Chains A and B, each alone.
Chain A
Amino acid sequence: MTEQSIFGEDFLKTEEKQYNTLNLGPTHPATHGVFQNILQMDGEIIMSAEPTIGYIHRAFEKLAERRPFYQVTPITDRLNYCSAPINNIGWHMTVEKLLQVESPKRVDYMRVIIMELARISDHLVCNAVLGVDAGALTGFTYMFQERERIYDMFEELAGARLTTNIGRVGGFERDFTPGFHAKLKDFLAGFPKRFEEFDRLITRNRIFMDRVVNVGPISAEKALSYSFAGPNLRAAGVDYDVRVMNPYCSYQDFDFKIPVGTQGDTFDRFMVRQNEIRESLKIINQAYNNLPEGNFHADCPEFYLPKKEEVYNSMEALIWHFKIVMGEVDLPPGEVYHSVEGANGELGYYLISDGGRTPYRLHFRRPCFIYYQAYPEMIKGQMLSDAILTLSSMNVIAGELDA
């Protein structure tokens, strides 16, 4: 991006200007999280920004070194808490890769359905809140109802809504329940219509377009160099999606498109997310209509926490339950990197195991953390109100940023 303000090229070149310092954050209501940016302002124009992060740093990578693998799952919940199931399942798949456990086809399809539901809820929050920041509160209230429906489904399976801790190493804690089936069918029947209403409300709205087109743009080269990922990279025009490049969980079975933008601005990021919601719906429909028969977890008793009924009634299950809960099961030594397409892009887990019960080293590749560093460059020369929209459209989640 060139340093060009909306008032023309000469505007930024005036030397003797005194700038105002403005503290945006750390607890500004418009930033949706704990972000601090110290802005140098020339009137309404941002000359430079200095982000400070780490306000909710919880030392996850250190904590993980004292936790058995299944206790790491709740940590991953708290990375991108808008789409916790993707983080959970990505972690489980990393452990499975290390253990070389093959998950049944039904597990793959169930995981795809859950992960795409999580992606929809994450993108809905991002886009609806972008609307709120631009002054359109109505769409937000309707789309948050849809998010509640998705959370109801997670609750059916995992018992929790936001930080789900869903699934197990090897599969799921329970098969899709009748309640889940009913809610999913209801969602698939009703959501597309309501979503298109939201789309009609926002997308071609003149006020919204004026606020988002050409706001916070980034070029494809810059985005790649900054290791952008996910919708933000695709909005800049690079069609990189882990689901297609390195298919996991049988994603190769499904027919879907990768939406890409051209300008990498706020409007493109919004549109990429809107279209990804439609593609996710297509994937869910395909997976749900072709849901294979079979077991809902892999056959790996030494790592799969058995059902409570079995623990109470069978000696073998009791033994495994005890061994897993007390952390007496060692992971094999090895070093794996596994990545999934999180709602914000490539979410990677770099796990080194020395053969002990806990990871020797676990590193999360957190897309938010990596792309947020481009934020000062993206808002330079823009108005203060544009900075808010840019931040909102990048979907920077404080939990994932600060780990």
Chain B
Amino acid sequence: MTLNNDIVLSRLQEKFADGILEAYINFDQLNIEIVPAFAAEILRFLKEDEEMGFNYLTDLTAVHMPEQAGKEIGVVYHLHNLYANYRLRLKAWIPEADPVISTASGIWLGANWMERETYDNFGVRFDGHPDLRRILNVDHMEIFPLLKQYPLEDSSRDDKDDRFFGR
């Protein structure tokens, strides 16, 4: 059983003509940007279709790009087909104002905590998640700390001049 970029991309494009936005290759790995509303369908298809067979969810995380108006937060899925040894990266961009995407925890059990971590850090609400609570940070934290508007150091300090730190 073999899989390659062309097979995966053409199968996805024929099945979800409206769900695929863009595809590009980055360091030999196929990246596909998908419409967030199609996320659950596409992921389920990728897992359950016999030819696709992505039986292993390697990683699920997010990235914040504040300059992309209307699609600031990207939810990133790393999938792996262990039989064909083929890796795929999916991205769905959602607005920071209303960061909702459907959960993958019904497809891979392991997505449960990965989604909780992503919620904890970015505030992405995974629709249909059984137990979406903070996991690493304290429960009463009011911000989502990995968003770029929260600087690492206290921005009110004036004794630290960026010039002296090579920044």
- Is B109 a contact of A225 with CB atoms below 8 Å? yes
Closest to A100 in B: B27
Given A61-B121, A97-B27, A363:B110 Cβ within 8 A: no
- Is B58 a contact of A348 with CB atoms below 8 Å? yes
Given A54-B137, A227-B108, A348-B78, A337:B29 Cβ within 8 A: yes
- Is A363 a contact of B166 with CB atoms below 8 Å? no
B-side residues, CB < 8 A to A, are 26-27, 29, 31, 55-59, 61, 63-64, 76, 78, 82, 85, 87, 89, 108-110, 112-114, 117, 121, 134-138, 145-146, 152-153, 166-167
- Is B27 a contact of A336 with CB atoms below 8 Å? yes
Given A54-B137, A66-B152, A370:B110 Cβ within 8 A: yes
- Is A62 a contact of B110 with CB atoms below 8 Å? no
- Is A369 a contact of B27 with CB atoms below 8 Å? no
Q: How far is the CA of A222 from the CA of B109 in the complex (A)?
A: 8
- Is A227 a contact of B121 with CB atoms below 8 Å? no
A42 located at the interface, meaning its Cβ lies under 8 Å from any Cβ of chain B in the complex: no
A388 located at the interface, meaning its Cβ lies under 8 Å from any Cβ of chain B in the complex: no
Given A62-B145, A369-B117, A350:B108 Cβ within 8 A: no
- Is B63 a contact of A361 with CB atoms below 8 Å? yes
Stretch among A23-31, A301-309, A327-335 lining the B interface: A327-335
A226 located at the interface, meaning its Cβ lies under 8 Å from any Cβ of chain B in the complex: yes
Closest to A326 in B: B166
- Is B63 a contact of A352 with CB atoms below 8 Å? yes
B145 to chain A, nearest CB (A): 6
The answer, among B61, B82, B108, B138, for a CB contact under 8 Å with A363, is B61
Stretch among A137-145, A179-187, A238-246, A267-275 lining the B interface: A238-246
- Is A226 a contact of B109 with CB atoms below 8 Å? yes
Q: What are 14 contact pairs spanning A and B, CB under 8 A?
A: A54-B137, A54-B138, A57-B136, A57-B137, A66-B152, A66-B153, A225-B110, A226-B110, A227-B108, A245-B82, A336-B27, A350-B61, A370-B110, A373-B113
Q: How far is the CA of A98 from the CA of B61 in the complex (A)?
A: 20
B96 to chain A, nearest CB (A): 15
Q: How far is the CA of A403 from the CA of B113 in the complex (A)?
A: 14
- Is A373 a contact of B112 with CB atoms below 8 Å? yes
Q: How far is the CA of A189 from the CA of B76 in the complex (A)?
A: 47
The answer, among B56, B89, B137, for a CB contact under 8 Å with A227, is B56
The answer, among A222, A350, A373, for a CB contact under 8 Å with B76, is A350
Given A222-B109, A224-B55, A225-B109, A54:B152 Cβ within 8 A: no
Interface residues on A, range: 35 or more
Given A66-B153, A225-B110, A245-B85, A335:B166 Cβ within 8 A: no
- Is A227 a contact of B166 with CB atoms below 8 Å? no
- Is A348 a contact of B136 with CB atoms below 8 Å? no
As a 0/1 sequence over residues 72 to 106 of chain A, the CB contacts with chain B under 8 angstroms (1 = contact) are 00000000000000000000000001100000000
The answer, among B58, B145, B166, for a CB contact under 8 Å with A59, is B145
- B residues near A363, Cβ cutoff 8 Å: 59, 61
Q: How far is the CA of A372 from the CA of B167 in the complex (A)?
A: 38
- A residues near B78, Cβ cutoff 8 Å: 337, 348, 350, 365
Q: How far is the CA of A371 from the CA of B58 in the complex (A)?
A: 12
A199 located at the interface, meaning its Cβ lies under 8 Å from any Cβ of chain B in the complex: no
Closest to A225 in B: B109
Interface residues of A in 238-281 (CB under 8 A from B): 238, 240, 245-246
- In this complex, the member of B31, B59, B135, B138 whose beta carbon has the largest number of chain A beta carbons within 10 angstroms is B59
- In this complex, the member of A54, A97, A246 whose beta carbon has the largest number of chain B beta carbons within 10 angstroms is A54
- Is B82 a contact of A240 with CB atoms below 8 Å? yes
The answer, among A53, A246, A350, A370, for a CB contact under 8 Å with B136, is A53
Closest to A377 in B: B109
Q: How far is the CA of A334 from the CA of B24 in the complex (A)?
A: 12
Q: How far is the CA of A104 from the CA of B137 in the complex (A)?
A: 42
Q: How far is the CA of A38 from the CA of B57 in the complex (A)?
A: 28
A318 to chain B, nearest CB (A): 16
Q: How far is the CA of A65 from the CA of B76 in the complex (A)?
A: 18
Q: How far is the CA of A240 from the CA of B81 in the complex (A)?
A: 11
